[in-house]
Chains A and B, each alone.
Chain A
Amino acid sequence: MNFERNIEKNEKILKDELSSDDVIFYSFSYHEKSCFAVYVDSMVDKQVLGDLVIRSILELEKDKTIDDIKTTLSNPECKTQEKIEDAVDDVLNGCAIICIDGEKKALSIDLKKFDSRAVSEPPTSAVLKGPREGFTESMKTNLSLIRRRVKSKDLKIEYLTCGKYSKTQIAIVYVDSICDLNIVKALKERINSLDIDGICDSSYISTQIVENKTSLFKQVGNTEKPDILMAKMLEGRIGILCDGSPIALTVPYLLIEDFQSSDDYFKSYYRANTERILRLISVIFAIYLPALFVSAQLFHLQIIPLNFLLTIVNSIKGIPLSPSFEMFFTLLIFEMLNEASIRMPKYVGMALSIVGALVVGDTAVRAGIVSTPTIMIMALSGICIYTVPELVDTVTFLRLIFLIVAGASGAYGILLLTCFIVIYLCATENFNVSILAPFAPLVKNDLKDTFYMTYVHRMDKRPLSLKPKNRTRRKLKNEEGK
């Protein structure tokens, strides 16, 4: 529906469309013409609206058309709208709409002003060395953090809107001379095809734009830090920012990404490699250790060295529960404590620690309900799981499944389940990129930055698994600079 010359009709239609108490209709006159401004109270900078917009209009000497007024206003984000629906969308997005009697257009001025959190270090990606800035819930702040790092004309930002009711702004960020533009196209198509009421967080998008929506493994990368997003974009990935979410998504995603930490590239080569291998071992321990311990006790006593076997035999003497149930019970308690510690107020945390350590740990062992090795293995597995925080959800679930399988059929069951997961992972791909790359399919060049990381100055090619347009990351020079 278009605006009409009769301002009263326009006002009536807008009032019908925007019938909410926080939508303000402010009437004023300009050269004896009736005018009104409409805006959402909590979203607009009223001082700027009064001082720089309405006052400027009132101070105009001649009776000017709305297009002339647009050019005289000192606001760059000013446009005219002919359709009422577009004007309504603008109002809901934080613009002020100004209608003047006799004009078939309305003036739309972007005057958004929200309270937002200050830029701070994200709690999930703390580093010892390196930048500490993190994304916030404000899209503009986040984009400025990226722009400040990538000052290239090749950095492209494309806006999309998603959510029937939330109309959330989504920005696709990429370096167009590096990334595969087919992936950008496919990504835009997938986001545009989303039919959803609202986007509460970027996680909503991450679960919707993947090919296998029920997958156990995540298929979209995420980060809360602009330096990581920048590094990923320079490797050929595409960033997705969602208004209201401090988590940026990245595609295509490789499983190995979660084993890489941003400070690996800022530390010594030796330390970084040690840490990466530790992360791999930790994840293996977290998944397999409880299962292997149970299966070794139940079916494969010959695998355990004699001295260790004697220790275990002594400690499990008199335990009423079977090894698998004992481990399952301990795991359950651990997960309950974990869940409670996240949700409960901090000042109750101390009590929880005491209950967890003393009641569950010490007393249960003394009472002969669980054995010491079981507690030890569960604790080790529980600690190991957090060395790769991005995989906590998946690893926790896998640990449980492996434990059940180990209790039922021992090491062979563990092997079969591992094979199943390998096939499942090999078959999982998103945007035609296998999440197991560069191991499956094997990409020799990309092995330089996996569990083993070569010197940063030797990473001369971008990851080929991501099919970048421009493969060369740095040109290697000899000592003479050639």
Chain B
Amino acid sequence: MSHTIKNDIKLRQVALVFLALMPVTKVLMLPSIVADFVGEQIWLPITLNLLFDALVVFLILKLGERYPNLTFYEIAEKNLGKVASKILFFFIGAFFFLKSLVPILEQKHFIDNTLYEVFPNFISFFPLMFLSAYACLKGLKVLGRCVDICVFFTVIGLLVIIYFSVSTCDITNLFPIFQKPHYNTVKAMFSSVIWFTEGAYMLLFLGKFNNEKNGTIKIMTCFLIGSVFVVAIAVIFYGIFGPIANTQVFAVSDMTIYTTKIINIGRFDYLAIFMLLFSKIFAVCLPAYTSTKFFEKCFSLDKALIPALIVNGLLLVAIFVFKDKFLAVLDFSNKYLNWYFVLMGYLMPIVFYLVLRRRKSEKV
């Protein structure tokens, strides 16, 4: 068991994952879906889900402090034994596989409906999975470098969208606050959980970076900034559309549509949308990447080639089967999969941390 710091990815790059990749997955359909449940209270379920995510990130970082320089795989093997840890890796791998499915279909849905007047042959969407498989074969070092680049695109893209849309936002649409029943908030949180549970990415990074001084603060700060972007987009979105927000499917492309600047110079905002889509492609590849790595560990494979091909091949088949069934997939996920997301994305890391903490305290 290795006890040296791998330093495959840098602390800054881990932190930037939550600023560069986390917000872009939550600005397409999430605002309108949450608005459908809670209307003007749109910010509340999103904030609560983000808080859960932040808690998971924080606890995994604390776990890393308790087991310095050990990866999650090593910690799990040390505490659960080989067989149990492999079973756990399989379930985590499956969780990330399922987690990548909805964003891919969402992206396809967005591209079909928003970007293309005439959509090319469906096959042209397939290269995404080849790209994802290619990314899965690369190490965390390459992923970290990609994140360094994506952060420019995400931040500039989001700022441009906010700048173009904030002038048409009517903040009174968000009042009165706390009028909707709590049940609606919980239901909105549950229904949108598939877009969250991203704190679990920390399981992949644990022990792979040098957690220097104030590392936790740096990561949590980036998470906070990313969260502020997500909540801001949702709030502005509801501020623009008010009660009809739930009928506007794609937030980022609909928010900027009324800006006078755009009328004068064409859909200039599409540049920002393309910037966000650029980061979104990496964000979509990340769960597939994580899934590949967990399956690789689960089956003790030397190379990521086989799990990468299987994961991305299955995703390719899934896209083909569900190409026009995005809403049905979402419905199915709400009924059957969201519990699994809550279990693996929130409960498992929290319970894992608490159990190990208790076990270590008992040993001491």
Contacts and interface: CB of A to CB of B under 8 A. Distances in A.
B127 A416 contact: yes
Contacts of B340: none
Contacts of A442: 12, 148
Interface string B260-276: 00000111001000100
A412 B135 CA distance: 18
B208 to A, nearest CB: 15
A186 interface: no
A306 B127 contact: no
Interface string A405-429: 0001111110110111011001100
Contact of A423 (B111, B135, B277): B135
A423 B131 contact: yes
Contacts of A306: 266
A143 to B, nearest CB: 37
B117 A419 contact: no
Contacts of B118: 298-299
B117 A440 contact: no
Given A427-B138, A441-B145, A442-B12, A300 B131 contact: no
A303 interface: yes
B278 A418 contact: yes
A399 B346 CA distance: 46
Contacts of B282: 419
A225 B266 CA distance: 46
Size category, B interface: 20 to 34
Nearest to A437: B145
A410 B120 contact: yes
A423 B134 contact: yes
Contact of A440 (B124, B135, B146, B281): B146
B291 to A, nearest CB: 18
A329 B221 CA distance: 52
A305 B261 CA distance: 12
Contacts of A359: none
B116 interface: yes
B120 A304 contact: no
A217 interface: no
Contacts of B87: none
B136 to A, nearest CB: 10
Q: Which among A412, A416, A420 has the greatest number of chain B C-beta atoms within 10 A?
A: A412
A298 B121 CA distance: 12
Contacts, number: 92
Main secondary structure of the interface of A (DSSP, over half): helix
A408 B118 CA distance: 12
B148 A439 contact: yes
Given A412-B115, A442-B12, A436 B145 contact: yes
Given A436-B145, A441-B10, A300 B134 contact: no
Contact of B281 (A303, A416, A439): A416
B124 A413 contact: yes
Nearest to B266: A305
Contacts of A298: 118, 120
Contacts of A332: none
A409 B131 CA distance: 15
A10 interface: no
B117 A416 contact: no
A305 B281 contact: no
B306 to A, nearest CB: 20
Contact of A305 (B115, B146, B265): B265
A419 B282 CA distance: 8
Contact of A300 (B117, B121, B144, B278): B117
B339 interface: no
Interface in B66-115: 111, 115
Contacts of A412: 111, 115-116, 124-125, 277
Contacts of B156: none
A308 B268 CA distance: 13
Contact of B142 (A305, A411, A413, A426): A426
Contacts of A410: 115-116, 120, 124
Contacts of A408: 120-121, 124
A401 B131 CA distance: 16
B145 A440 contact: yes
B336 interface: no
A301 interface: yes
A300 B10 contact: no
Contacts of B312: none
Q: Which among A411, A418, A434 has the greatest number of chain B C-beta atoms within 10 A?
A: A411
A302 interface: yes
A409 B10 CA distance: 35
A415 B145 contact: no
B327 interface: no
A298 to B, nearest CB: 7
Contacts of B318: none
A63 to B, nearest CB: 70
Contacts of A427: 138, 142
Contacts of A434: 145
A168 B168 CA distance: 70
Interface string B4-42: 000000101100000000000000000000000000000
B2 to A, nearest CB: 21
B131 A441 contact: no
Contacts of B347: none
A300 B113 CA distance: 11
B119 interface: yes
Contacts of A416: 127-128, 131, 281
Nearest to A416: B127
Contact of A420 (B117, B134, B145, B274): B134
B146 A422 contact: yes
B266 A308 contact: yes
B159 interface: no
B149 interface: yes
A305 B10 CA distance: 43
Contacts of B144: 441
B265 A299 contact: no
A92 to B, nearest CB: 46
Interface of B: 10, 12-13, 111, 115-121, 124-125, 127-128, 131, 134-135, 138, 142, 144-146, 148-149, 265-267, 270, 274, 277-278, 281-282
List 5 tightest A-B contacts by C-beta distance, closest first. A305-B266, A409-B124, A440-B145, A426-B145, A440-B148
13 contacts: A298-B120, A308-B266, A409-B125, A416-B128, A416-B131, A419-B281, A419-B282, A423-B131, A426-B142, A440-B145, A440-B146, A440-B149, A441-B144
Given A298-B120, A434-B145, 9 more contacts: A299-B119, A305-B265, A306-B266, A409-B121, A419-B282, A436-B145, A440-B146, A441-B10, A441-B13
